[in-house]
Structure 1
Amino acid sequence: MEWRKDDYLITDDKSKVQLGTVQRLLAATYWGGRRPVEIVERMVAGSICFSLYHGTTQIGFGRAVTDSTTFTWVADIVIEPGYRGTGLGQWFMECLVAHPAIEGTQMVLQTRDAQGLYEKFGFSGNSALMSTKVTDS
Structure 2
Amino acid sequence: MYWLCDVYVDPAYRAQGVGKKLIATITGHPDYRNLFGILATRDAHGLYEQFGFVRDHGKTLTRTPDFLRK
- For the aligned pair, the TM-score class normalised by the smaller chain equals 0.7 to 0.9
Aligned length: 66
TM-score, normalization: structure 1? 0.44
Deviation at 1:81, TM superposition (A): 0.8
TM-score, normalization: structure 2? 0.81
Higher relative contact order structure (alpha carbons within 8 Å, sequence separation ≥ 6): 2
Q: CA RMSD in A?
A: 1.4
User: Which residue in the other structure is 2:23 paired with?
Assistant: 93
- On the 8 A contact 1:111/1:129 being kept in 2, the answer is yes
Indicate the percent of aligned positions where both proteins have the same amino acid: 32
- On the 8 A contact 1:115/1:127 being kept in 2, the answer is no
Stretches of structure 2 that go unaligned for 5 or more consecutive residues are none
Aligned match for 1:131, one of 34, 57, 62: 62
- For residues 12-33 of structure 1, the C-alpha deviation after alignment (integer angstroms, 9 at most, x for no partner) is xxxxxxxxxxxxxxxxxxxxxx
User: Which residue in the other structure is 1:74 paired with?
Assistant: 4
Structure with higher Rg: it is 1
SS at structure 2 position matched to 1:108: strand
2:44, 2:15 → 1: CA distance? 11
1:133, 1:102 → 2: CA distance? 11
Stretches of structure 1 that go unaligned for 5 or more consecutive residues are 1-70
Show structure 1 runs of 4+ deviating over 6 A.
Answer: none
